[in-house]
Chain A
């Protein structure tokens, strides 16, 4: 029954037409460094893309061993292009190759979350420390957790996401990634990513 109703509703041309209108501006505007409107009643905003860089490894490349495993230190990260009104930043590093039954839509491995990074800060040096005023957490506690894919796995993908927020987060030390992500909703005015890959240690 549900299937039949849904099929009737799926008048393809109408839907495609409607959705195209809503979607067109989204990813193009992002590259222009302007807060292009999403248009089509989607509310727009938040479409500035931050440029994230690292001196530790090339974007998309293998993460050097010094940054991996239990002894690994955090890589250097810089970002730029934040819009006016940026109050602070959040960094979320996660391993997207793993799906754990966490009961959350972000059911992967949390390697590093740093929040309430002051808006005047645009980098984190290799090995830290995290900027004054910021807090951090990972699955190992208040610290960076280096990549360590399980034996037999292909390369895992570690996304370093930097979010520019228009207000600080009311999440105290000891907060979780879920707490941070929940508090971020509605405050994100720019975002950028950097990707590294790691394979199991031999």
Chain B
């Protein structure tokens, strides 16, 4: 995007921000009825339910750290959405004694025209729709892989609707890249929706 376009976008951002900012959390009571909230659905399991083995590292023939990504769809994007960012992460892992957790799939600059991702997104630096992807494994979806002997892990799929494409290039480190993306979206989040699943390897 050229500088003029970016400037116009940031001006649009200012215009759309006020009503959205008012919705959360103070705007929860009273006021005009809000637009329908964005929703996220991951195919193959109920929200909060068990993730099928086929989408995990435990599926037959799947290389360690890889896997078949589930079909993901979203609806009711906020007005002004310019791109989406998907952050799939494992809530039960702490990296290097910090609050950072496991990066299973970080997909950003998903075009605003997209309403989902198909099952089985191929590995590679970019998706067919032009978005970047990365995970702790590499440029690919990292299936759930929690060990059979421990508790189930909680894998959260979080989609952010943004008022801009973001200027972040992947580095060789998925965690650094995710941090860069999280920083870049600050002030650009129009909406968010979440879907969660549980998994541990079969006993």
Residue ranges of A at the interface with B (Cβ–Cβ < 8 Å): 2-3, 6, 9-10, 12, 15-16, 18-20, 22-24, 26-33, 38, 42-47, 49-52, 59-61, 81, 96-101, 103, 105-107, 109, 139, 148, 150-157, 159, 161, 163, 166, 181, 184-195, 197
Contacts and interface: CB of A to CB of B under 8 A. Distances in A.
Nearest to A58: B48
Contacts of B123: 16
A155 B99 CA distance: 25
Interface of B: 17, 21, 23-25, 27-28, 33-34, 36-37, 39, 47-49, 64-65, 90-99, 101-102, 123-125, 135-140, 142, 144-154, 156, 158, 160, 167, 169-170, 172-174, 179, 182-183, 186-187, 189, 191-198, 200-201
Contacts, number: 221
A30 B99 contact: no
Given A10-B125, A30-B153, A188-B97, A150 B23 contact: yes
Contacts of B194: 96-97, 156-157
A31 B102 contact: no
**What 10 A-B pairs have minimum CB-CB distances, sorted nearest first?**
A31-B147, A60-B48, A31-B150, A16-B138, A23-B136, A6-B169, A51-B151, A193-B91, A99-B189, A99-B192
Given A19-B174, A105-B183, A188-B94, A61 B48 contact: yes
Interface of B is mostly: loop
Contacts of A38: 95-96
B148 A49 contact: no
Given A150-B23, A166-B97, 16 more contacts: A27-B102, A45-B97, A47-B93, A60-B49, A97-B192, A97-B194, A101-B186, A150-B24, A151-B28, A157-B48, A157-B194, A188-B94, A188-B99, A191-B94, A195-B48, A195-B156
Contacts of B25: 98, 100, 109, 139, 150
Contacts of A151: 28, 33-34
Contacts of A155: 47
6 contacts: A20-B65, A28-B147, A49-B153, A59-B48, A99-B160, A195-B154
| Residue of A33, A105, A166, A190 contacting most chain B CB atoms (<10 Å) | A105
B97 to A, nearest CB: 4
A148 B39 contact: no
B151 A186 contact: no
